[in-house]
């Protein structure tokens, strides 16, 4: 933006507004017999002045942001995403498991969307979390990280208290933390059942319960739970994982009903097979066999999951709640 908004510009706007007030006063005196007509004409004149002023200020605000954060602005402009091209600024977002493969792109999309983003990690990931944060900074994204064991209810309550005190509010919550411990049920050890349920499902209660009162008090919130295609259709050797992800869908629909009249939406995103570094490191023949079952003929991109989350997190998505967005390339359409 090449033009500079000066003090004179503000004075011109004030003068225009004052002149219109004087004109309205004169019209009311001269046309006392037709006050409705004068009022309507005056209304439209003031609306035009206000609209022009707001547009001018918005343009200068965008120019200021670009001058202070040129790299971030460039990333938004070149992302190629309809979702991230319209910033929804001013919200604080927490993404559990945010430094993981899909979690990273969720954080990216939310940050490019204008939100202040915080990603959780667990203690043994501390070094990786610091490196991950540096990588995001190199991309022009200032994403914060916080340590929390999301399987521990008290730890989640403590995190919520600290974040609410530091950022005033957490408006967007994305429950993305998850693990797998695959085996057929006849061979599954009890600890592997509980490890997956604790991390993938109990954590959703622990974290959501810790932040929900603040959202209710403010009458605003966006809760997005990352489920899975296998929570919808089941998967051989994943009774623990599929049960947890299916439970997440039920949790979402029930909580959405509880909060529907309070300005808070609750939805799930259910990814199919996504080309994270972990999947792409698998033997080619295994990846090819997976792709052969997907109607669109490819793996999903992590950014496609991130953009689906950003869509649901947007202020304008307030009429979508209790829904699941399946991002699976047509693998399951039930």
Q: What is the pLDDT of residues 150-198, one digit of tens each?
A: 999 999 999 999 999 999 999 999 999 999 999 999 999 999 999 999 9
Task: Kindly list the catalytic residues.
Answer: 241
Report if residue 295 sits inside a domain. Answer: yes
Model confidence pLDDT, tens digit, residues 263-272: 999 999 999 9
* Residue 118: other Cβ atoms inside 10 A: 24
Q: Which helix (H) or strand (E) holds 146?
A: strand 144-147
Among 33, 68, 103, identify where a domain stops.
68
Q: Are residues 53 and 130 in the same domain?
A: no
Report if residue 332 sits inside a domain. Answer: no
Q: Are residues 123 and 195 in the same domain?
A: yes
User: How far apart, in whole angstroms, are the C-alpha atoms of residue 76 and residue 86?
Assistant: 9
Q: Are residues 32 and 98 in the same domain?
A: no
Contact 308, 254 (CB under 8 A): no
Q: Are residues 153 and 51 in the same domain?
A: no
Q: Are residues 94 and 191 in the same domain?
A: yes
Model confidence pLDDT, tens digit, residues 310-325: 999 999 999 999 999 9
Model confidence pLDDT, tens digit, residues 26-36: 766 766 666 66
**Residue 63: what pLDDT?**
54
Contact 99, 176 (CB under 8 A): no
User: How far apart, in whole angstroms, are the C-alpha atoms of residue 196 and residue 150?
Assistant: 12
Report if residue 233 sits inside a domain. Answer: yes
Model confidence pLDDT, tens digit, residues 185-234: 999 999 999 999 999 999 999 999 999 999 999 999 999 999 999 999 99
User: Domain holding 95: CATH number?
Assistant: 3.40.50.720
Among 68, 96, 111, identify where a domain stops.
68
Q: Are residues 320 and 197 in the same domain?
A: yes
Q: Are residues 317 and 208 in the same domain?
A: yes
Q: Are residues 165 and 279 in the same domain?
A: yes
Q: Are residues 239 and 141 in the same domain?
A: yes
Q: Are residues 168 and 305 in the same domain?
A: yes
Report if residue 281 sits inside a domain. Answer: yes
Q: Are residues 124 and 247 in the same domain?
A: yes
Query: Range of 23's domain?
Result: 7-68
Report if residue 73 sits inside a domain. Answer: no
Report if residue 62 sits inside a domain. Answer: yes
How large is the average pLDDT for residues 124-131? 96
Report if residue 75 sits inside a domain. Answer: no
Domains contained in the chain, number = 2
Q: Are residues 202 and 322 in the same domain?
A: yes
**Cα within 13 Å of Cα(165), Cβ side:** 6
Report if residue 100 sits inside a domain. Answer: yes
């Amino acid at each position: 933006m090449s033009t500079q908004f000066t003090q004179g510009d503000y004075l011109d706007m004030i003068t225009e507004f004052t002149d219109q007030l004087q004109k309205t006063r004169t019209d009311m005196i001269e046309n006392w017999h037709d006050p409705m007509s004068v009022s309507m004409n005056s209304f439209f004149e003031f609306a035009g002045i206000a609209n022009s002023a707001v547009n001018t200020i918005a343009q200068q605000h965008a120019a200021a942001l670009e001058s202070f954060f040129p790299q971030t602005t460039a990333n938004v402009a070149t992302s190629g995403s309809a979702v991230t091209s319209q910033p929804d600024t001013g919200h604080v977002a927490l993404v559990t498991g945010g430094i993981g493969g899909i979690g990273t792109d969720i954080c990216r999309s939310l940050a490019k969307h204008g939100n202040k983003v915080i990603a959780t990690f667990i203690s043994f990931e501390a070094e990786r979390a610091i490196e991950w944060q540096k990588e995001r900074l190199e991309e022009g994204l200032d994403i914060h990280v916080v340590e929390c064991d999301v399987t521990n209810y008290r730890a989640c309550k403590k995190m919520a208290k600290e974040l609410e005190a530091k950022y005033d509010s957490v408006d967007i919550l994305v429950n993305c933390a998850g693990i797998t411990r695959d085996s057929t049920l006849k061979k599954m050890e009890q600890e592997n059942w509980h490890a997956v349920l604790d991390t993938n499902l109990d954590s959703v209660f622990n974290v959501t319960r810790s932040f929900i009162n603040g959202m209710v008090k403010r009458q605003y919130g966006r809760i997005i739970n990352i489920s899975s295609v296998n929570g919808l259709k089941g998967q051989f050797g994943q009774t623990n994982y599929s049960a947890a992800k299916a439970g997440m869908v039920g949790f979402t629909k029930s909580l959405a009903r509880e909060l529907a009249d309070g300005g808070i939406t609750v939805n799930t995103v259910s990814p199919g097979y996504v080309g994270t570094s972990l999947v792409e490191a698998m033997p080619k023949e295994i990846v090819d066999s997976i792709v052969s079952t997907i109607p669109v003929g490819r793996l999903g991109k992590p950014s496609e999951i991130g953009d689906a989350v950003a869509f649901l997190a947007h202020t304008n998505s307030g009429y979508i709640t209790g829904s699941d967005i399946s991002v699976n390339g047509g693998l399951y359409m039930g």
